[in-house]
A and B are shown apart, each in its own frame.
Chain A
Amino acid sequence: MSQDLFFQHLANGISLGSLYALIAIGYTMVYGILRLINFAHGDLLMMAAYMVFYGMLIFSLPWWLSVILAVILTAALGAGIERVAYRPLRDSPRISVLISAIGVSFFLENLGTVLFGGRAKAVYRPDWLAATHEIGGVSIMTLALVIPAVTILLLLVLSYLVYKTKTGMAMRAVSRDYDTARLMGIDVDRVIGFTFVTGSTLAAVGGIMWALRYPQIHPFIGVMPGLKCFIAAVFGGIGNIPGAVLGGFLLGIGEIMLVALFPDLAGYRDAFAFVILILTLLFRPTGLLGEKIAEKV
């Protein structure tokens, strides 16, 4: 592979990886606090994408306003799901909550089919995003630059939130020890609600950018990215935010490079992620940056 081509693929991989990273954070944050894999997370991408689509098409809103509204509504939806489907099960066995999460996921997919129809819709991609630039022999679409830029910006905001604010401090305390946090006067339900808002916001932005990158939406577009980002989170060490980011980038770059180096394997592109999952679970179940799992007492 020529050097130019290598950088071309690398740029592509970084752009995909940053999407994975953004979405994987939502999985890892919720897992960190509730020890729950929120299977409905992937479907939030789909909901966000449709919201932008209809905001522009039906309500003729400018694109930026549709995006802002979609992000806010998706964040509210994420928090609403927690309220309705997870909070009532707070004292139930973990498996019940997991089943509830799978139920919500199916519900959203079918709700999408009823509301929006099962046929794929083409997403309008603004010209300035689709324009390509020649940078040192590599041709890159504006979108491929915008995606990592937005991701990095959001990662900075997130780390400020988690490591510098008192709400973030409460989140870290709750993820360490739920009951003790409560005894220190922390309103655990509020912290959990806030966690869902944060994760869903990132999922919404990720979903919208996903729809721009692969400009076609249908009610099941969230499924595969959802699964892959879950894998990215496990690969990086579930419960660990930097781990989710690392896992996301490695998975995205790895996937693109696999296809680039072995074009014959292009059909196994999706399988790559699952192979990573199996290998992680076999050889390093706590993931790349995961801590030793101390069972909560």
Chain B
Amino acid sequence: MILLQMEGVGKNFGGLTALADFNLSLAPGELVGLIGPNGAGKTTVFNLITGVYRPSEGRIVFDGRDITGLRPDLITRCGIARTFQNIRLFGNLTVLENVLVANHLRLRSNPLEAVIRWGRYQAEEREMVAYSRALLEAVGLDHLAEEEASSLPYGQQRRLEIVRALATKPKVLLLDEPAAGMNPAEAEELMDFIRQIRKDFNLTILLIEHHMRVVMGICERILVLDHGLTIAEGSPAEIQKDQKVITAYLGVETGA
């Protein structure tokens, strides 16, 4: 069974091809890495999956449903969530509110109903707050619930961003360089964290990462992009030996 499938997906910006003929299938529960030099098109893949960009060609199917060109908020509702390379929390909201906002989509009552059916609204609200608090507790951020998100240290902001994504109750989680700017100890901790949430939330994960220790440490399968093209695919051991990958990262040896 395939949960997320991309078939021949491409994206052009004017004359520039950011991604060409990209194919990906994620089976439920898999943890797949997406690597490549800067500008290879990795984040473009995320933007295409989440509906930020509309593909120039190809098709994206999620859970048996064609989601090509669907609005980002509707794709999120289908069960795909993401984090960002540069942290994009709602800095003006509290930690708890950041998580609550992502819960928002699962609520049925609208502002009018909030007035008319006060009881149900209150019950939903309570349930939502309890769930968000439980999430924060699970990742050790509950004591910071009332702090402004922008006041958190970097590592915790990264964590909070992942929690916020989890609050949308995704089936697939897209992580864009979660270990960026982390030292080896922090990266190690992050790997444990990713393993943990993958198990606890039954997630399928697609991970963009430059931190090779992290990628090689937790991914079961890796795709390598360079200049918008998929140049290799395989297990971490295979990728490490692949000549094309080494060339893409280190350049060609020119004698000497």
Q: Chain A residues in contact with chain B, CB under 8 A?
A: 165-167, 169-170, 172-173, 176-177, 179-188, 194, 297
Size of B's binding interface in residues, CB under 8 A: 30
Q: What are 14 residue pairs bridging A and B, where the CB atoms are less than 8 Å apart in the complex? A: A166-B101, A166-B125, A167-B111, A169-B104, A172-B92, A172-B93, A173-B90, A176-B91, A179-B52, A181-B90, A182-B72, A182-B76, A183-B82, A185-B168
Contact with A along B42-75 (1 / 0, CB 8 A): 0000000010100000000000000000011100
Q: How far is the CA of A177 from the CA of B90 in the complex (A)?
A: 7
Task: Contacts A166-B125, A169-B97, A173-B93 given; indicate if A184 touches B164 (C-beta within 8 A).
Answer: yes
Q: How far is the CA of A49 from the CA of B98 in the complex (A)?
A: 40
With an 8 A cutoff between CB atoms, is B229 at the interface? no
Cβ of B114: which chain A residues have Cβ within 8 Å of it? 165, 167
Contact call B73/A186, Cβ cutoff below 8 A: yes
With an 8 A cutoff between CB atoms, is B102 at the interface? yes
Q: How far is the CA of A37 from the CA of B91 in the complex (A)?
A: 24
Contact call A169/B93, Cβ cutoff below 8 A: yes
Q: How far is the CA of A183 from the CA of B170 in the complex (A)?
A: 12
- Report the minimal beta-carbon distance from A273 to chain B, rounded to whole angstroms: 29
Q: How far is the CA of A170 from the CA of B164 in the complex (A)?
A: 14
4 tightest A-B CB contacts, nearest first: A185-B105, A185-B76, A182-B72, A184-B102
Cβ of B81: which chain A residues have Cβ within 8 Å of it? 183-184
Task: Contacts A167-B111, A172-B93, A173-B93 given; indicate if A185 touches B88 (C-beta within 8 A).
Answer: no
Cβ of B92: which chain A residues have Cβ within 8 Å of it? 172, 176
Contact call A176/B86, Cβ cutoff below 8 A: no
With an 8 A cutoff between CB atoms, is B77 at the interface? yes
Cβ of B110: which chain A residues have Cβ within 8 Å of it? 167
- Report the minimal beta-carbon distance from B148 to chain A, rounded to whole angstroms: 11
Contact call B73/A172, Cβ cutoff below 8 A: no
Cβ of A176: which chain B residues have Cβ within 8 Å of it? 90-93
Cβ of B105: which chain A residues have Cβ within 8 Å of it? 184-186
Q: Which residue of B lies closest to A177 (CB)?
A: B88
Q: How far is the CA of A183 from the CA of B80 in the complex (A)?
A: 9
Q: How far is the CA of A177 from the CA of B164 in the complex (A)?
A: 14
Contact call A183/B104, Cβ cutoff below 8 A: no
Q: Which residue of B lies closest to A166 (CB)?
A: B104
With an 8 A cutoff between CB atoms, is B107 at the interface? yes
Cβ of A184: which chain B residues have Cβ within 8 Å of it? 73, 76, 81, 101-102, 104-105, 164, 168
With an 8 A cutoff between CB atoms, is B131 at the interface? no
- Report the minimal beta-carbon distance from B143 to chain A, rounded to whole angstroms: 21
Contact call B73/A165, Cβ cutoff below 8 A: no
Contact call A186/B101, Cβ cutoff below 8 A: yes
Contact call B86/A188, Cβ cutoff below 8 A: no
Q: Which residue of B lies closest to A197 (CB)?
A: B111
- Report the minimal beta-carbon distance from A194 to chain B, rounded to whole angstroms: 7
Cβ of A173: which chain B residues have Cβ within 8 Å of it? 90, 93, 101
Contact call B52/A194, Cβ cutoff below 8 A: no
- Report the minimal beta-carbon distance from B49 to chain A, rounded to whole angstroms: 11
Q: How far is the CA of A21 from the CA of B146 in the complex (A)?
A: 29
Selected contact of A170 from candidates B76, B82, B91, B101, CB within 8 Å: B101
With an 8 A cutoff between CB atoms, is B100 at the interface? yes
Q: Which residue of B lies closest to A183 (CB)?
A: B72
- Report the minimal beta-carbon distance from A145 to chain B, rounded to whole angstroms: 28
- Report the minimal beta-carbon distance from A166 to chain B, rounded to whole angstroms: 6
